[in-house]
A and B are shown apart, each in its own frame.
Chain A
Amino acid sequence: GIQVEQSPPDLILQEGANSTLRCNFSDSVNNLQWFHQNPWGQLINLFYIPSGTKQNGRLSATTVATERYSLLYISSSQTTDSGVYFCAVYTGTASKLTFGTGTRLQVTL
């Protein structure tokens, strides 16, 4: 099946810093979602992004499906950004999401 790799696996930032998280996938995908799992375990939808670039406040995402990767940018990070960021892809005709390995982000004061 498809492999979804995320990097870096862990990231520690000071508040106010910017970061880029990467998601590589091994095969063609129909679509891609980014999630933030907060410290309470809840999965929050960030972006639904098959291609191109989207922005939502301090966060933006870019997917280049032909090159099989997506990037999540976090600017001016805040402590509330801490948690695990997952990308997840749709493949073939199935509606299931295959999740990446996640990037654990810690934002410190």
Chain B
Amino acid sequence: DSGVTQTPKHLITATGQRVTLRCSPRSGDLSVYWYQQSLDQGLQFLIQYYNGEERAKGNILERFSAQQFPDLHSELNLSSLELGDSALYFCASSLSVASYEQYFGPGTRLTVT
């Protein structure tokens, strides 16, 4: 158990819908990262937050957004869902913003039908 929690574990929804994925980092970690794992793209970095502020952006679509709240949990919002958004979404956390070890949550498996 990495100490990072993610809910829900599984999500099945229809095209065009909007969903919210939730992540709680390890106790004491200030940085939260979101990654997407799909069959064709592999594991890709989406976005990073540190202590409530956005720090880095990767290959995140405009239909996707995220935020980190004062209690440090984070939410990833996915809207206008398409079939191609079906993937495993991971949250990770680390102590700070430099090259600290990242710990991954169990992931949320999203299926868009």
A-B contacts, CB under 8 A, total? 54
Contact B90–A90 (Cβ < 8 Å)? no
Contact A99–B43 (Cβ < 8 Å)? yes
Report Cα–Cα, A101/B2, bound state, in Å.
23
For B45, give its contact among A31, A44, A96 (CB under 8 Å).
A96
Grouping DSSP codes into helix (H, G, I), strand (E, B) and loop, the B interface class, with mixed when no group exceeds half, is strand
Contact A95–B100 (Cβ < 8 Å)? yes
Report Cα–Cα, A86/B104, bound state, in Å.
13
Contact B106–A42 (Cβ < 8 Å)? yes
Given A45-B103, A45-B104, the answer on whether A95 and B31 have CB atoms closer than 8 Å is yes
Task: Find chain B residues with CB under 8 A from A44 CB.
Answer: 2
Interface-side segment among B17-25, B61-69, B74-82, B91-99: B91-99
Q: Contact size class for A?
A: 20 to 34
- For A1-43 the 0/1 string (1 means CB < 8 A from B) is 0000000000000000000000000000011010100000111
A97 contacts the other chain (CB 8 A):
yes
Contact B43–A86 (Cβ < 8 Å)? yes
16 extra interface residue pairs, beta carbon distance < 8 Å, beyond A90-B99, A95-B99: A30-B99, A31-B99, A41-B88, A41-B109, A43-B90, A43-B104, A45-B2, A50-B99, A86-B43, A95-B33, A95-B55, A95-B98, A95-B100, A96-B48, A99-B43, A99-B44
The list of the 3 closest CB pairs from A to B, nearest first, reads A99-B43, A31-B99, A96-B45
